[in-house]
Amino acid sequence: MTIQDLKNNREAIINFINSNNYDLKFAMGIAAEICVNCDDLQELYIELENHCKPVKSSKLAELHSNAHIDEKYNVITKEFQKI
């Protein structure tokens, strides 16, 4: 594969990376480095699985996002308001 193949298949590669919960920036950097050793997308996916680990979600970030799920932030009053 070449860098042009990566550009042509960008959406498919990003979908694969996001579906496996990999760090997008890191995984795309790895893909750019190892693409010359791969013949097709399936080989690239296998190599990415070998090099990347899923990103752990933060418990604090998860709690914070769920706390205001039915609210929006008003920048004028600087408070959350129910939707």
Supply the pLDDT for residue 77: 86
Q: How far apart are CA 33 and CA 25, in angstroms?
A: 13
Supply the pLDDT for residue 32: 93
Task: Quick: pLDDT tens for 9-24.
Answer: 999 999 999 888 898 9
Q: How far apart are CA 21 and CA 25, in angstroms?
A: 12
Supply the pLDDT for residue 57: 67
Identify the residue with better confidence: 79 or 3.
3
Note the Cα 78 to chain centre separation in Å: 30
Helix/strand/coil for 77? coil
Q: How far apart are CA 5 and CA 36, in angstroms?
A: 10
| 8 Å CB contact between 32 and 63 | no
Supply the pLDDT for residue 81: 81
Task: Quick: pLDDT tens for 28-68.
Answer: 999 999 999 899 999 999 999 999 988 876 676 667 666 66
Question: Is it the case that residue 74 has pLDDT exceeding 80?
Answer: no
- Cα 48 to Cα 2, 4, 28: the distances in Å are 16, 18, 9
